[in-house]
């Protein structure tokens, strides 16, 4: 596992004592991937203006089951989960994170009589892991109530004795991270990258525009999953948070997320807004343009942080085309690239008010879509 950079280091430039790394809980991360980025954590902030809404995180499963939408989820027995994963066979493992292990499974009539054969991804909470019941409840709470084509569908859950599992639709093509930064030379075409960018933007726009706004808080390539047709959906709602309401300007909260994607004002103050997600979106858009990770210690020191290195070059066309992902050569029009680069530049503004809202991002990207070409 690569070394970690904490918020404290980001502020002072000094390397602190080594800290634990927490990976995303909803993606299919490769636990052997040294480029996986560390989570951010700082002491809990306080918001004196507490409010109730349908998405306030419940304290218990019993509380959760009273929420609208949760009753639509299937409740599985632990024995059924064992059967679905072939007794949690290692070959069924899709990935592992702070939540625990994610398995590929199949639920059919042998697992549950009368059940139509369904391929699923099953996450099992590690009771001794770095994340606990609260993240598990948050995931259920949000995905149990929020439905959208660009959010991963939660099918059901298991809560039996000390066992905590979540059952999702299976996303055949894995994560955007896997396709954007492959070990082999195969890569996503320009048209597919733009379609994924649009899908992900639609998912965030839906969350921000909901009756009770939701801030995703952990937008990154490993949390964007792709189905068989490369439609993109957001996963991992363990860190999601109710957004500000009424005359609130922000939500004060403990800083959590992944280094390299967290908005600078959020890291410094703990003040969370929808524009924090917009910044993270800009980081991912930049990764898709340049073909590099947000934080990459294998690069020269001045190129270690992608945003710090590349953002100043996005408004200079000659410099821009020199840093674009070389694997995309000949797949795009220069006019389109300039527009996408300008969008990324705006999303990455140091001033939150200088960033567009996600509904505007969707409009811009819809106008830039091109016919899909098979990879």
Q: Where are the beta strands (DSSP E) in the chain?
A: 39-41, 74-75, 93-96, 100-107, 118-125, 154-160, 163-169, 174-175, 214-215, 224-226, 232-234, 241-242, 251-252, 256-258, 271-272
Is residue 218 part of the annotated active site? The answer reads: yes
Q: Report in angstroms the alpha-carbon separations of 62 from 67, 70, 168, 244, 300.
A: 9, 11, 21, 26, 52
Indicate which residue of 47, 72, 161, 218 is catalytic. 218
Binding positions:
123
Strand order in the sheet with 118-125: 74-75, 154-160, 163-169, 118-125, 100-107, 93-96
The three-state secondary structure class of 2 is coil
Tokens 């410094």, residue located: 268
362 contacts: CB under 8 Å, gap ≥ 6: 198, 201, 202, 205
Question: What is the chain's percent helix, strand, coil content, to nearest 5?
Answer: 35, 15, 50
The C-alpha atoms of residue 371 and residue 45 are separated, in whole angstroms, by 46
The C-alpha atoms of residue 331 and residue 149 are separated, in whole angstroms, by 27
DSSP notation for 78-117: HHHHHHHTTTT-GGGEEEE-SSEEEEEEEE-TTTSTTPPP
DSSP notation for 185-231: S----HHHHHHHHHHHHHHHHHHHHSSS-EE----SGGGEEE-TT--
Task: Please state, as a whole number, how many other Cβ atoms lie within 10 Å of the Cβ of residue 28.
Answer: 23
What are the tokens at 296?
């990459």
**Cβ(171)–Cβ(227) below 8 Å:** yes
Residues across the chain: 375
How many CA atoms, within 13 angstroms, populate the side-chain half-sphere of residue 337?
A: 23
Binding positions for ATP:
123
Tell me the catalytic residues.
218
């Amino acid at each position: 596992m690569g070394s970690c950079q904490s918020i404290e280091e980001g502020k002072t430039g000094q390397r602190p004592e080594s800290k634990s790394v927490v990976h995303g809980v909803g993606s299919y991360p490769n636990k052997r991937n040294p480029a996986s980025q560390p989570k951010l954590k700082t002491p809990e902030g306080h918001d004196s203006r507490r409010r109730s809404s349908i998405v306030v995180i419940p304290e218990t499963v019993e509380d959760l089951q009273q929420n609208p939408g949760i009753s639509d989820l299937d409740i599985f027995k632990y024995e059924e989960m064992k059967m679905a994963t072939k007794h949690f066979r290692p070959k069924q493992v899709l990935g592992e994170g702070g939540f625990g292990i994610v398995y590929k499974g199949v639920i059919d009539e042998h697992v549950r009589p009368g059940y139509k054969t369904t391929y699923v991804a099953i996450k099992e909470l590690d009771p001794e892991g770095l994340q606990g019941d609260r993240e598990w409840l948050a995931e259920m709470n949000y995905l149990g109530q929020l439905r959208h084509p660009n959010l991963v569908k939660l099918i059901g859950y298991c809560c039996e004795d000390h066992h905590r599992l979540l059952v999702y639709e299976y996303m055949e093509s894995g994560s955007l991270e896997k396709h954007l930064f492959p070990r082999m030379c195969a890569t996503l075409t320009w048209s597919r990258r733009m379609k994924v960018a649009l899908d992900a933007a639609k998912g965030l726009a839906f969350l921000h525009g909901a009756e009770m706004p939701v801030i995703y808080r952990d937008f990154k390539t490993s949390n964007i999953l792709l189905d068989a047709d490369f439609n993109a959906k957001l996963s991992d709602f363990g860190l999601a948070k109710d957004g500000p309401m009424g005359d609130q300007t922000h939500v004060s909260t403990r800083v959590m997320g992944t280094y390299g994607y967290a908005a600078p004002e959020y890291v410094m103050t703990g003040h969370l807004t929808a524009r924090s997600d917009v910044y993270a979106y800009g980081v991912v858009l930049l990764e898709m343009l340049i073909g590099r990770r947000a934080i990459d210690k294998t690069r020269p020191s001045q190129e270690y942080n992608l945003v710090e290195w590349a953002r100043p070059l996005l408004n200079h066309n000659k410099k821009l085309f020199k840093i674009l992902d070389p694997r995309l050569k000949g797949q795009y029009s220069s006019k389109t690239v300039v527009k996408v680069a300008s969008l990324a530049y705006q999303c990455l503004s140091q001033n939150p008010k200088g960033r567009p809202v996600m509904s505007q991002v969707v409009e811009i990207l819809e106008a830039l879509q091109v016919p899909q070409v098979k990879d």
